[in-house]
């Protein structure tokens, strides 16, 4: 309930201040651009001042006729001739009606650069109050990228190529920040920026890395052990054949069916059977190890993985933004 009341109060404050600002529009046609020896006139030729005044008065006429698009165009042209605080102030009025709060804030700030003198106390007071309300509604976004050649975009608009920095006011809500560089996997960091909070992030670009699930030697070691076991099985098979050969020769030399009672022949046959079973076991284990090693070798091909240092290094701190400007300060480092 308190949050709802706070938002309602803030919204009411904006409406009241906006109405107060718009009370000056009725007098826009008679407003004059203060010149003379003022600081905001230095270096401006009389011809430039004249051109700026004509465009300024044309903008005022369009503003009082509720044609903010035409008014803003004239004010922007006038600023090219003369960077006068009053032009910024009236341009903020036009942009306010066009629902462009970020630009309203920027031009109100420019209008207040020289204090109340070029605007008058009333207009300066209105501008101050509205700017303070916008401080609580907008977001101050800072982005930095230290990776050379990385293209950084905000909501699809290219900001700069790294290394570089960017800072600007944005409206609250979801914003997509991308860092793109050839050879790197695109870093896409969408954030919901909320007025009145401060968000600090430390990020670096994703790096494509090819990794194996297991060490490269492991499948070969398994296959090698299988070959070794199979070779051992072969040796055991040779011994089996030798014992069986000795047994067969003994049987041929034996008379009167002496096998069941001949101790040496019985031991030779038993030893041959044991070697044969061991050989078959070694073949089975060796074959299994070879097949397993082949499967591991196939599965152990280098695979693309994503190294995201931000998973280890990213920290998020959310706290009220204290200072001359309220809002959200989000700092991204890639």
Helix 85-97 / helix 121-135 crossing angle, nearest 10 deg: 50
What's the average model confidence in pLDDT over 176-202? 71
pLDDT digits (tens, 9 = 90+) for 240-274: 888 778 877 777 777 666 666 566 777 777 887 88
Coil, helix or strand for 158? strand
pLDDT of 162 > 60? The answer is: yes
Closest CA to 106 of 76, 70, 80, 61: 76
Tokens at residue 318, please? 């959310």
What's the average model confidence in pLDDT over 44-60? 92
What's the average model confidence in pLDDT over 317-324? 34
pLDDT digits (tens, 9 = 90+) for 96-107: 999 888 899 999
pTM of the model: 0.53
Question: Cα-flanking dihedrals φ and ψ of residue 329, to 5°?
Answer: -110, 110
**Residues 151 and 179 sit within 8 Å (Cβ to Cβ):** yes
């Amino acid at each position: 309930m308190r949050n709802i009341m706070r938002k309602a109060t803030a919204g009411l404050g904006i409406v009241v201040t906006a109405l107060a600002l718009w009370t000056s529009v009725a007098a826009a046609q008679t407003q004059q651009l203060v010149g003379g020896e003022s600081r905001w006139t230095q270096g401006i030729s009389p011809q430039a001042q004249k051109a700026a005044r004509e465009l300024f008065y044309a903008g005022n006429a369009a503003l009082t006729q509720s044609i903010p698009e035409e008014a803003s165009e004239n004010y922007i042209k006038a600023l090219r001739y003369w960077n006068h605080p009053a032009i910024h102030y009236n341009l903020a009025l036009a942009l306010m009606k066009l629902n462009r709060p970020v630009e309203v804030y920027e031009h109100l700030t420019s209008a207040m650069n020289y204090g109340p003198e070029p605007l008058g106390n009333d207009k300066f007071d209105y501008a101050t109050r509205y700017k303070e309300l916008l401080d609580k509604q907008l977001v101050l976004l800072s982005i930095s990228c230290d990776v050379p050649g990385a293209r950084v975009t905000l909501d699809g608009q290219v900001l700069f190529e790294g290394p570089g920095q960017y800072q600007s006011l944005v409206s609250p809500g979801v914003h997509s920040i991308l860092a793109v560089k050839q050879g790197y996997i695109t870093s896409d960091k969408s954030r919901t920026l909320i007025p009145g909070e401060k968000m600090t992030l430390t990020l670096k670009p994703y790096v494509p890395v090819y990794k194996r699930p297991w060490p490269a030697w492991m499948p070969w070691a398994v296959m090698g052990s299988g070959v070794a076991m199979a070779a051992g099985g072969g040796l055991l098979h040779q011994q089996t054949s030798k014992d069986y050969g000795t047994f067969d020769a003994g049987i041929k030399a034996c008379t009167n069916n002496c096998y069941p009672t001949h101790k040496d022949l019985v031991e030779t046959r038993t030893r041959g059977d044991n070697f044969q079973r061991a050989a078959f076991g070694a073949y089975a284990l060796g074959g299994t190890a070879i097949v397993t090693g082949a499967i591991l070798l196939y599965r152990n091909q280098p695979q693309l993985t994503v190294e995201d240092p931000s998973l280890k290094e990213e920290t998020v701190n959310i706290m009220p933004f204290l200072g001359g400007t309220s809002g959200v300060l989000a700092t991204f480092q890639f």
